[in-house]
Amino acid sequence: MGLLFSAYAPLALLAGYMLGSIPFGLLLTQAAGLGDVRNIGSGNIGATNVLRTGHKGLAAATLLLDALKGTLAVVVVYEVAKRYVAFDAFQLSYVAGLGAVLGHLFPVWLRFSGGKGAATYIGVLFGLHWPAGVVFCLVWAAAAATWRYSSLASLVATFAVVLYYMLLGQAGLLFILIISILIFGKHHANIRRLIAGEESKIGARSSARP
């Protein structure tokens, strides 16, 4: 745990945060002339809400770019750290991954109101430990096919990754737990809607928010 109080951890966290805070969903929809994606559906900037515009290509691009920024944060910090503090490079990559998710959830450019974190978390997992990324994707796909709720699929997949890390004794569990708590916290409104039976299903179109 001494790493968290070193001079390098804040730098890794900041680097991850800056990359993670790029709001690709908002940038892509505005560039396509669709206005502010925060004014439709859930008001979220992630791929699921972009899909509600009816533009599957933009939604796919948002998903890919949101994931890539998570992977890039992890890989860049790891490669740089290897040159200067090789012993801590692995742990610093987890710090960067946490920063990337924080940046997506709470981007400074959008007054700290960002997305739900699932896509960025997928990218982080593939950068840190790719089998965990595969676990997330497989569980998400199975849950989404079964219930057709993106939010529920993300929560189930997030929990599955925690179990994976615990059962295999994989290093980095603390950071995975922190990220998972953040993602569950960001989904609090979705959880309430799921319980009330009011959550929108995957592919549902939504009109502009009042």
> In the chain, where are the structural domains located?
2-196
**35 pLDDT above the threshold of 60:** yes
Continuous H helices in 21-129: 24-31, 47-51, 56-84, 89-105, 118-128
pLDDT score at 41: 79
Local confidence band at 209 (pLDDT 50, 70, 90 cut-offs) = very low
Mean pLDDT across 152-177: 96
Highest mean pLDDT among 22-26, 49-53, 198-202: 22-26
Q: CA-to-CA distance for 21 and 183, rounded, in angstroms?
A: 15
A 10 A CB-CB count for 2 gives 8
Mean pLDDT across 59-87: 95
**4 pLDDT above the threshold of 70:** no
**Mean pLDDT (the chain, rounded):** 92
Local confidence band at 117 (pLDDT 50, 70, 90 cut-offs) = very high
pLDDT score at 7: 80
**134 pLDDT above the threshold of 60:** yes
> Percent of the chain beyond pLDDT 70?
93
Interacting residues of 127 by C-beta distance below 8 A, sequence separation 6+:
70, 71, 72, 73, 74, 75, 78, 93, 97
**204 pLDDT above the threshold of 80:** no
Question: Is the pLDDT higher at 26 or at 2?
Answer: 26
pLDDT tens figures, 135-146: 999 999 999 999
**201 pLDDT above the threshold of 60:** yes
Mean pLDDT across 36-59: 88
Assigned token pair, 143: 């849950």
**64 pLDDT above the threshold of 50:** yes
